[in-house]
Amino acid sequence: MRYLFLFLIGFSTSIIAQNSIISNLKEAPINGGLEMEDYWVWGSSVIKGDDGTYHMYASRWPKILPFHPGWMVGSEIVHATSKTPEGPYKFKDVALGARGTQFWDGKSCHNPKIVKYKDTYILYYMGSTHPFEDITKENVKAFDLSSKWCIAARWGKRIGIATSKSPNGPWKRLDKPIIDVKPNSYYSFLTSNPSPLIKKDGSVVLLFKGRQYKEDGIKHSDMSIGVATAPSYDGEYTVVGDKPLFSMEHFGEVEDPHMWSDKNGYHMIAKDQRGKITGFAGDGLLAHSADGINWTIDDNPKAYTKTVKWNNGKTIKQGQLERPFVLIENGKPTHLFFATMNGPGGFGNGTKTWNMVIPIK
Model confidence pLDDT, tens digit, residues 153-165: 999 999 999 999 9
Domain boundaries, the chain: 2-359
Intra-chain end-to-end CA distance of the chain, in Å:
37
Whole-number average pLDDT of the chain: 93
Mean pLDDT of 135-158: 95
**45 contacts 33 by C-beta, under 8 angstroms:** no
Nearest to 256 by CA among 190, 192, 182, 346: 192
Mean pLDDT of 297-302: 95
Mean pLDDT of 332-346: 96
Question: Percent of the chain at pLDDT above 90?
Answer: 91
Band of residue 352 on the pLDDT scale cut at 50, 70, 90:
very high
Distance CA 144, CA 150 (A): 7
Q: Which CATH class is domain 2-359?
A: mainly beta
Torsion angles phi and psi, residue 344, rounded to 5: -80, -5
**The pLDDT of residue 19 is above 90:** no
| Residue 2 confidence (pLDDT) | 37
**The pLDDT of residue 6 is above 60:** no
Nearest to 161 by CA among 220, 227, 82, 230: 230
| Residue 214 confidence (pLDDT) | 82
| Residue 29 confidence (pLDDT) | 98
Band of residue 10 on the pLDDT scale cut at 50, 70, 90:
very low
| Residue 14 confidence (pLDDT) | 40
- Residues near 288 by beta carbon (within 8 Å), at least 6 away in sequence: 12, 15, 19, 264, 265, 266, 267, 268, 295, 296, 298
Nearest to 194 by CA among 151, 234, 158: 158
| Residue 38 confidence (pLDDT) | 96
- Cβ burial, residue 6 (10 Å; 0-12/13-18/19+): exposed
Helix (H) or strand (E) holding 159: strand 158-164
Q: What angle do CA 73, 78, 80 make, to 5 degrees?
A: 155
| Residue 5 confidence (pLDDT) | 36
